[in-house]
Structure 1
Amino acid sequence: MRTLDQWFEEYAVSHQNPKNKAIHYVCVPAIYFSIVGLLMSIPSGFISSTLSLNAPIIENWATFVLIFVLIFYIRLSIAMAAKIAVFSAICLIVNYYIGHVLPLWIFSIGIFAIAWIGQFYGHNIEGKKPSFLKDIQFLMIGPAWVVENLFSKK
């Protein structure tokens, strides 16, 4: 199993151009955020009736899926998993409130589409294919790479 640093090293190969990196710093979190919103938009009757907590922020498919996402990160780094957990919690809370103002699924699809257009534009600038085309796990490494690059003291 690769270490988080090995993943980052390989991911960084196709993310050298400053414009592409800047686009990723915006678009990767936007995609993550929009996926949380899309998952929150799925009716969660099964989860709500099973948990019966009366806490809609956590009784949804996004929270269920994020548990498995965090397991992936825990296997790589407890510290990174904690950072992603904080970001995930923020995504859950903000999406919850957006869902009270706008149809969350429509808003999320719009963010998702715009962010992916940005990603592919960034890779066009870079002149290299997105890493996930080589290994789908890079879709999980992207958010960690952004967190590491934006918030580390390296």
Structure 2
Amino acid sequence: MNTPASASLGRPIDRWFASYSGDHRNHTNQLIHVVCVPAILWSVIALLWCVPVPANLFVPGAWAALAMFGAWMFYYRASRPLGFGMLASFVLMGFLTRWLADTYGFTTLLYLAIAVFVIAWIGQFIGHKIEGRKPSFLTDLTYLLIGPAWVLAKLYRKLGWTY
């Protein structure tokens, strides 16, 4: 199991991570996930950024901001340290997305987001082929939210931080 020995499996986030880790034991698959999960997360943010919004009501990127806020609430409720880490991730991804949209335009951002999304998902499925297990989200869609937090929790453990 990839949770720290001191972690209590009484917390829902620890149960989610224990289950998710069970489908991600292979080192190569874990490395693929460390690269592809954040790439997929960014691509979804960028795709939502490209969804048109009424000009008088919202600013570009409003749908992405709403989705990031909703996801952030999930992470913050599960673990405050992970919630703050995911907030930092969302802010960085939001700034990157805005910079790309402002610099290269929405069409380029859209094509880049689609390419990253497709390539990263191909990587994910290759990782699961190597693993010999199906992706966790096929059993519960909540795992689409757990994946990014699981990657961040791996970073926290490497840095000696608790979550």
| TM-score of the superposed pair, with normalisation by structure 2 | 0.84
Count of equivalent residues: 147
Partner amino acid, structure 2, of 1:101? Y
1:101 aligns with 2:110: no
Residue deviations 1:42-101, cap 9 Å, x none? Answer: 1122xx5335xxx65xx5210011111111112211111111110011111111111222
Which of these residues, 105, 109, 130, is aligned with residue 125 of structure 1? Answer: 130
In the alignment, the residues of structure 2 paired with residue 79 and residue 150 of structure 1 have an alpha-carbon distance, to the nearest angstrom, of 12
State the Cα distance separating 1:128 from its structure 2 match: 0.4
- Runs of 5+ in structure 2 lacking a partner? 1-9
Any stretches of 5+ residues in structure 1 without a counterpart? none
Q: Which residue of 2 aligns with 1:8?
A: 17
Match of 1:146 in 2: 151
What is the alpha-carbon distance in structure 2 between the residues aligned to residue 49 and residue 67 of structure 1? 21
2:71 is matched with 69
Between 1:137-146 and 1:102-111, the stretch displaced more is 102-111
- Name which of structure 1's ranges 110-119 and 60-69 shifts more when overlaid on structure 2: 60-69
Q: Does 1:41 align with 2:29?
A: no
Q: Is 27-36 or 96-105 further displaced after alignment?
A: 96-105
Query: What's the counterpart of residue 31 of structure 1?
Result: 40
Choose the corresponding residue for 1:90, options 73, 89, 92.
92
Letter in 1 for 2:95: I
Q: 1:81 maps to which residue?
A: 83
Q: Which residue of 1 aligns with 2:4?
A: none
Give secondary structure in 1 for the equivalent of 2:150: helix
| Greater RCO structure (CA 8 Å; 6+ sep) | 1
The one-letter code of the counterpart of 1:137 is T
- RMSD of Structure 2 on Structure 1 (CA): 1.8
